[in-house]
Amino acid sequence: MADSEKRRSLIQQYLVQNGACSISALASRLEVSTMTIRRDMELLAGKGLVRVYHGVVVPLKEEATSLQEYALTKAEAVHVQEKLRIARAAASMVEPEDILFIDGGSTAALVARELPRGIPLTIICLSLNAFLNVAGNPAAEVILAGGIYHEETHIFEGPESIELIRRYRATKAFVSANGFREDLGVTCSNNYLLSIKQAVLRSSIQKILVADSSKFGKVNSCYFADLSDFSELITDDGLPDSALQSIRDSGTKVQAV
Amino acid sequence: MADSEKRRSLIQQYLVQNGACSISALASRLEVSTMTIRRDMELLAGKGLVRVYHGVVVPLKEEATSLQEYALTKAEAVHVQEKLRIARAAASMVEPEDILFIDGGSTAALVARELPRGIPLTIICLSLNAFLNVAGNPAAEVILAGGIYHEETHIFEGPESIELIRRYRATKAFVSANGFREDLGVTCSNNYLLSIKQAVLRSSIQKILVADSSKFGKVNSCYFADLSDFSELITDDGLPDSALQSIRDSGTKVQAV
DNA sequence: ACATTTTTGTTGCTTTTATAACATTTCTAT
DNA sequence: ATAGAAATGTTATAAAAGCAACAAAAATGT
């Protein structure tokens, strides 16, 4: 990476952490002239990443503040690029008046974050992560399945959660998983996750599995569905063609983004 | 609320939405001089709510979350000190192994924040505010009553919420209110709040009303209990002695902190 | 109604930033 | 190595913001 790029990257990182910074402070911190910073900012502003006011740079990264930030720092920072592509593909499937289940897990949380704003939706969240990423959407009715909070998964467990899921009917469910393979099916790591995911599948028309290719071939302790139980799989381009083909043959649409 | 307060509140709201704004823009938007805005910003900066750079105001993200936002940008900003004293008194009543209901509202959210950490508790939260203030407490089992999210109150509404409350039994319930008086009882502003508060009262041994003295004498549309239905009232020192005495005579303990 | 306090606006001056044009350095490819 | 390109620094001028002191207006209390 060129020095100038590295500097801009550093600036961005600093801005996201600190919320804002003056151009003069950036110049002295990075030991370059203010003109250099200005030119950098012009570039970043052109990309829509920052906004430059009078002497001050403010990161414009979509609400990287407080709640959303919390939701993402906790998420495993692995395969973020893939997960984001998957999330965007998933979000682009959503249509006005859709009723959505958003599962726990970092990929599903990203789906929540990428959901179109301004169109009427009903969004039923199963994890705090997903919820925090949609709360505040003015056009959406946001529902959270409550219960006992599990900090490691950000999911609420309990009969109330299951009951709530059973009471609703969704047009689309975005479900995550810890592992998926053709022979042993789709798996997750906990018993309560299993109950929730199964309830979600039973309450939804379109069942969409969002899982990056690192999950492919893996198994975890709790089996909750076969791949063919899903109407669609959204994953990245890391799956072998043979696998893609055989999943498609079993009746599940596949998007590899 | 005084005009100046209203203006500062508007500014804060605008800042949280937009991330940042120049002083000159705020001045023309609110049709006051830049000096007025500058002085406002000095005030808000003193409270640690914003940071002023050269001509630009940036909200500080640490404080912009749930509670502070609610407690300081909304109309209740005036009574923060009282609420905090009330919250601390309430929190000091809590003992190990207690099972707690924490209602919605800024005062109850403060109770949640002031709860002792490290002692085993079961904490059932009825609002996002309260929840975010206790999530992460390692010694506590944290439960959130889910349902349809209401942004203006940060509360989750729905049959699931009520069912969850009915299913639990608490040793202490910290309940908030919009108004309370001896003749017309304790009132809140919404129907769903009413259902929740009544369910909480029916599921709890000790029923503790936390409400600052500005609520005294007021009525709101929804009546949900008499003052004598509460085992205890925690308020500040703004109630007339005669009222304190007559509430005590009716069998409700009163702490005026 | 009056005086007092608080809030807001105005002015002049200082300091900081923006911008453009030009000079210099650093990088890159042959 | 060297020319050309890209990146960076410098300077001068214009524009905008900061600041302090004072004036005017509005709110408050007696």
B32 touches strand D (CB under 7 A): no
- Per DSSP bridges, beta strands B170-175 and B99-102 are parallel
**Record: contact B156-A163, CB cut-off 8 A:** no
pLDDT of residue B179: 94
Cβ separation A167–B145 shorter than 8 A: no
Q: Does the beta-carbon distance from A143 to B149 stay under 8 Å?
A: yes
Share of chain B above pLDDT 90, in %: 50
**Strand D contact at CB of residue A228, distance < 7 A:** no
**Would you place residue A78 in the very low, low, confident or very high pLDDT band (cuts 50, 70, 90)?**
low
The model's pLDDT over B196-227, given as tens digits with 9 standing for 90+, comes to: 999 999 999 999 999 999 899 999 999 999 99
User: Strand, helix or coil at B26?
Assistant: helix
**Tell me, what's the pLDDT at A125?**
97
Cβ neighbors of A52 (< 8 A, separation 6 or more) are: A23, A38, A41, A42, A45, A58
pLDDT given for residue A39 in this prediction: 87
Asked if the Cβ of residue B50 lies within 7 A of any atom of strand D, the reply is no
Please say whether the beta carbons of A102 and A123 come within 8 A.
yes
What mean pLDDT is predicted for residues A23-34?
84
- The DSSP symbol for B116 reads P
CATH class of domain segment(s) A3-59: mainly alpha
Structure tokens, A160? 């109330």
Instruction: Check if residue B3 sits with its Cβ under 7 angstroms from strand D.
Output: yes
Q: What is the pLDDT of residue A22?
A: 86
Which whole number is the average pLDDT over A33-56?
Answer: 82
Q: Do A55 and B60 touch (CB under 8 A)?
A: no
- Going by pLDDT thresholds of 50, 70 and 90, the confidence category of residue A25 is confident
A–B interface: beta-carbon pairs under 8 A: 117
pLDDT over threshold 90, residue B88: no
Q: Please write the tens of the pLDDT for every residue from A163-200.
A: 999 999 999 999 999 999 999 999 999 999 999 999 99
Q: Tell which strand D nucleotides have any atom below 7 Å from a protein Cβ.
A: 7-11, 16-21, 27-28
Q: Parse chain A into domains and list their residue ranges.
A: 3-59, 66-256
Mean pLDDT of B135-156: 90
Q: Which one of A1-5, A163-167, B10-14 scores highest in mean pLDDT?
A: A163-167
Contact: B143, A146; criterion CB under 8 Å: yes
Q: Is A1's CB less than 7 Å from nucleic acid strand D?
A: no
Best of B23, B53, B63, B134 to substitute, by most chain A Cβ atoms within 10 angstroms, is B53
Query: What pLDDT is attached to residue B62?
Result: 45
Rounded distance between C-alpha atoms, residue B205 and residue B170, angstroms = 6
Q: How far is B16 from chain A (nearest CA, A)?
A: 10
- Please state the rounded mean pLDDT for residues B125-144: 89
Mean pLDDT rounded to a whole number for chain B: 86
Residue B61 has pLDDT above 70, yes or no: no
Q: Is A53 on the interface with B (CB under 8 A)?
A: yes
What pLDDT is stored for residue B75 in this prediction? 38
Cβ of A141 and B158 within 8 Å? no
**A212-237 mean pLDDT:** 94
What architecture is the B78-256 domain classified under in CATH? 3-Layer(aba) Sandwich (3.40)
User: What whole-number percentage of chain B has pLDDT above 70?
Assistant: 90
Minimal CA separation from B168 to chain A, in Å: 11
Q: What is the mean pLDDT of residues A209-238?
A: 94
Band of pLDDT at residue B1, cut at 50, 70 and 90: low
Topology match between the domains A3-59 and A66-256: no
Domain B3-64 = CATH 1.10.10.10: yes
Helix (H, G, I), strand (E, B) or coil at B68: helix
Closest by Cβ to A161, choosing from B141, B146, B148: B146
Cβ-based contacts of A20 with chain B (< 8 Å): 20, 51, 53, 56, 58
Q: Is the pLDDT of residue A138 over 60?
A: yes
Residues 6+ apart with CB under 8 A from A24: A34, A55
Considering the domain A66-256 in this protein, what is its CATH number? 3.40.50.1360
CA B123/CA B114 separation, integer angstroms: 13
